[in-house]
Structure 1
């Protein structure tokens, strides 16, 4: 695996290191030893699959707080998505900063999401499928979320939103929940 750090400390883009032969190629998509060597949490508590019928579908922005904070390893296995993460660590120099990465079935790229980062994505194709390896169990009492269109975050989604859950559409704006912003 090829680990590329991002401007958000602890967040990595992970590309495959393909071993080609006449049949195609072989590549490792996860290795606990390599994760530890890069300072990443290698725990996988759950694996989730998300399927999106329509291009423009938006899911997120979700995270869990301590003691149930999650890491995530996100990979698009069919179609394409625009994946966004936001640093929600108040003591971080990149607090409330975000990055976006295009993950596609063709580029086979993954995004490692550290604990206390909000995560969401937009389907760039119809029938987009996404797999998540998650480092903590889903714990509803610790779940939090951000509005995808929050003006403080100023995320530029690549295409208009066509579908979004009521829950994701109704997260409170940061202005109403943050002190001093």
Structure 2
């Protein structure tokens, strides 16, 4: 399902469930080709965040190796945020949020130039990331989680921010 931010798409999958448990196809290029396009898959990562209220982000990768990400919640529940920081974009500075859960079977496809962050709503939440570019520390960009220009409506008080995330610049500095 497309969103007002160009290229930001919510994907939904249905799990096969029986008495043994469930099976979810987390990334199937044939089905996602319309959204993923001809991007390569360079990395697949899993993050786990223990504490309710913890915020990670807002991060992205630009420069010579911009990346798109597919983000899916494997365990728990998160308030997931995408922020458009693309120069010249008509939606620059706008954000969208989505609650990601395994039960919903949903995911974001976050295009190049859009930052990602999340807040944990359930302890021990795990996210799966599919990255379209290799990690390049020098190409990392970010915006501080509480930028007043963005005014993101985080659902809980912010906890457990990394030093890096606390020191990210405001959107105006990008």
TM-score > 0.5, shorter chain as reference = yes
**Structure 1 residue aligned with 2:76, among 50, 64, 79?**
79
CA contact (8 A) 2:14 2:105 kept: no
Q: 1:100: which partner in 2?
A: 97
The corresponding residue for 1:131 is 128
1:147 counterpart = 2:150: no
Cα 1:51–1:23 change in 2 (3 A) is closer
- Cα drift, residue 165 of structure 1: 0.1
Once the two structures are TM-superposed, the CA of residue 22 in structure 1 deviates from its matched residue by 7.2
Deviation per CA, 1:29-50: give whole Å up to 9, x if none.
3222333334645421101111
Contact 1:77 1:129 (C-alpha < 8 Å) held by counterparts: yes
**SS of the counterpart of 2:145?**
coil
What is the aligned counterpart of 1:54 among 29, 45, 51?
51
Shift of 1:19: 5.3
Does residue 172 of the first structure (1) align with residue 169 of the second (2)? yes
The reply on whether 1:16 has 2:13 as its aligned counterpart is yes
Task: Summarize the Cα distance change of 1:12–1:166 in structure 2 as closer, same or farther, 3 Å threshold.
Answer: same
* Matched position secondary structure for 2:60: strand
What is the TM-score normalised by the length of structure 2?
0.91
Would the aligned equivalents of 2:35 and 2:109 in 1 still touch at CA under 8 Å?
Answer: no
Deviation at 1:104, TM superposition (A): 1.1
CA contact (8 A) 1:47 1:132 kept: yes
Structure 1 contact 146–174 (Cα < 8 Å) conserved: yes
Q: Give CA deviations for 1:135-170 in whole Å, capped at 9, x if unaligned.
A: 111100111110000011110101011211010011
CA pair 32-161 structure 1, distance change in 2 beyond 3 A: same
Identify unmatched segments of 5+ residues in structure 1.
none
- 2:3 alignment counterpart: 6
- Residue 66 of structure 1: how far off its partner (Å): 2.5
